[in-house]
Amino acid sequence: MKKMRCAIVGTGVISKLHVQAISDHPEAELVAICDIDLQKAEEWVREFAPKASAYSNHKEMFEKEDIDIASICVPSGLHADVAISAAEAGIHVLCEKPLDIRRDKMAQMIETCRNHNVKLGCVYQRRTLSSAILTRQAIQEGKLGKLVLGDAYLKYYRSPEYFQSAGWRGTWELDGGGALMNQGVHGIDLIQWMVGDIESVFAYAAPLVRDIEVEDTAVVVVKYKNDAFGVIQGTTSVYPGQETRFEIHGEKGSIIFGDSGIKQWKFLESDEPIPQTEKEDKGHYLFVDDMIKAVRENREPLVSGEEARKAVDVILAIYESVKTGKEIKINH
């Protein structure tokens, strides 16, 4: 079978996982690497993919190279622009989270991909964790009965040096937000994927500790469309960072899980042992693999553009609530 010709835009922290996943995949080859810093792109070619070509301009790369799938690993506020260029060149898009940081840009990138008949997938790798998959399944099977509370605790530690490590971090322009838009977006995606769509939010958020424009801490009161309530707490300023934790309660059962596995799995109407979930870290490989299959089978990727924008819509509503002091309804 012909290998999928893959390219990467952005050679930073996260793109290493895309390089690794593409290199490990028997049906993929890395043919081009782009970074505005050409020297970095050339270094990566030498180190990871000697047969690939290096570029400093993604449009030129998309025009000149025969590419099937592009991994978008640039700062968040540039995702849509690069994805749109790829789609216009007929290239399928695997975009890092968050999909983008602006509503109009997300809509434009989804529409352009649709109009050019290319797939648009987004990497929210927590959706591949078996604790999350099992929880969602249990909720859908009605094991928790009517849902009452869906809470996400996303408490991390990022040092001042982290924010200095790249100029775009902690800025409205390119990060689009802080503890929620960058780190918390995974957990917000997951809680709404498991518990259900969010109807409205009310929030406080601010940079409480770090010298950044965006929030390093936020608390959010959530109302789900299925009438359940919840809270989301997100921070990047507490030491030590805590493990990500989700607590979902219904009239007939509760599930609590974190990075280290499921802590509580208790139902009124059945006695079940806590499922043992191994700590998986194959996320990026699974997303690259899924994208290849989505293209070959002409189906939607695991997390489509429409799915991926939901968490960003919620976060933008949270920011609006902080600004206005009001409860904000969400329209996807």
Judged by the rule CB under 6 A, the positions of this chain that interact with ligand NAD are 9-15, 34-37, 40, 58, 73-76, 78, 96-97, 123, 125, 166, 182
Establish how many alpha carbons lie within 13 A of residue 319's alpha carbon, considering only the half-sphere containing its beta carbon: 20
DSSP string, 312-328: HHHHHHHHHHHHHSS-E
In whole angstroms, what is the distance from residue 53 CA to residue 123 CA? 24
Neighbours of 310 (CB within 10 A): 19
List the structure tokens of 95: 């975009």
Shorter beta-carbon distance to ligand NAD: residue 144 or 185? 185
Shorter beta-carbon distance to ligand NAD: residue 125 or 244? 125
Residue 221's beta-bridge partner residues?
202, 231
Nearest to 120 by CA among 308, 289, 285, 283: 308
Cα dist from 210 to 77, 158, 178, 220, 235, whole Å: 21, 9, 10, 20, 11
In whole angstroms, what is the distance from residue 121 CA to residue 302 CA? 7
